[in-house]
Amino acid sequence: AQSVTQLDSQVPVFEEAPVELRCNYSSSVSVYLFWYVQYPNQGLQLLLKYLSGSTLVKGINGFEAEFNKSQTSFHLRKPSVHISDTAEYFCAVSDRGLTGGGNKLTFGTGTQLKVEL
Amino acid sequence: GAGVSQSPRYKVAKRGQDVALRCDPISGHVSLFWYQQALGQGPEFLTYFQNEAQLDKSGLPSDRFFAERPEGSVSTLKIQRTQQEDSAVYLCASSPAGRNLNTEAFFGQGTRLTVV
């Protein structure tokens, strides 16, 4: 079984400031890691994913995340946020070992990023 | 269509009523998932189809929940005798591959169900 913890339910930040959204996971098996963004009244959109290789992953809209296996973390960062980044952000994991079960995702409870002028 | 389409977008049901939620995945996608997202929470897995086969239904909360995908494309999530705790956004996602490979799940906008 897996679980995902997003410690911050809300993160207020001023426009053009840097931001970090924290994500920690727990799993007895190797996992893939994802960050999704959800704008109001819209579906989830994939920001980035870590499957293998370099632990620093770059995604869309200037976001990046770093996989830290020893700390079981996958924090999301952006060096300079924009008003349009205001949204809910979800961290998720998927079991690497599934052979027929598809990419079932376990999500965290989300972090509301609010960018202010 | 270009993306995953869900209908209706909004549904209000009286307690005890049966509801059916529809998902049109991206054409050709093998995998289809249903998730339930309660207010203020992250999505939680309900069930998974590979083509027409329901390979995992471990997340369905009770036997009032039933999902089908008879021809391996459109899927319907049915909830019988709805209860207030069923109020949530129901998300559908599809992905091109059946196995856990380098694929991305594409999500629909969801159906917001409110049970009154």
- Tell me the per-residue pLDDT of B5-27, one tens digit each, with 9 for 90 and over: 999 999 999 999 999 999 999 99
What is the largest distance, in Å, between two alpha-carbon atoms of chain B? 42
Q: Which residue of B has its CA nearest to A4?
A: B42
| Chain B nearest C-alpha distance from A7 (Å) | 13
Q: What is the tens place of the pLDDT at every residue in B25-75? A: 999 999 999 999 999 899 999 999 999 999 999 999 999 999 999 999 999
CA distance A90 to A35: 6
Q: What is the pLDDT, as a whole number, of residue A43?
A: 86
pLDDT band of A2, cuts 50, 70, 90: confident
> How crowded is residue B111: how many other Cβ atoms within 10 Å of its Cβ?
21
**B 53-72 residues with CB below 8 A of A?**
55-56
Query: Among A44, A51, A104, whose Cβ lies nearest the Cβ of B48?
Result: A104
CB A34 within 8 A of CB A92: yes
**Is the model's pLDDT at B1 over the cut of 80?**
no
- Return phi, psi of residue B84, to 5°: -60, -35
Q: What is the pLDDT of residue B99?
A: 59
Rounded Cα distance between B9 and B22, Å, is: 10
In chain A, the percentage of residues whose pLDDT exceeds 90 is: 74
Question: What is the predicted pLDDT for the residue at A104?
Answer: 83
Which pLDDT score is estimated for B48? 93
Query: Residue A100: is its pLDDT beyond 70?
Result: no
Alpha helix ranges (H) inside A1-117? none
Pick B33's closest partner by Cβ from A46, A100, A104: A104
- Considering only CA atoms, give the Rg of chain B: 13
Query: Could you read off the pLDDT of A60-88 as tens digits, one per residue?
Result: 999 999 999 999 999 999 999 999 999 99
What A53-57 contacts at long range (C-beta under 8 Å, 24+ apart), as own/partner pairs, is: none
Q: How far apart are alpha carbons A80 and A19 in whole angstroms?
A: 7
A-B CB pairs within 8 A amount to: 75
* Both structure tokens of A86: 């205001």
Whether the pLDDT of residue A101 is over 60: the answer is: no
Query: Which range among A20-29, A79-88, A94-103, B1-10 shows the weakest confidence by mean pLDDT?
Result: A94-103
**Residue, of A35 and B2, whose pLDDT is higher:** A35
At residue B102, does pLDDT exceed 80?
Answer: no
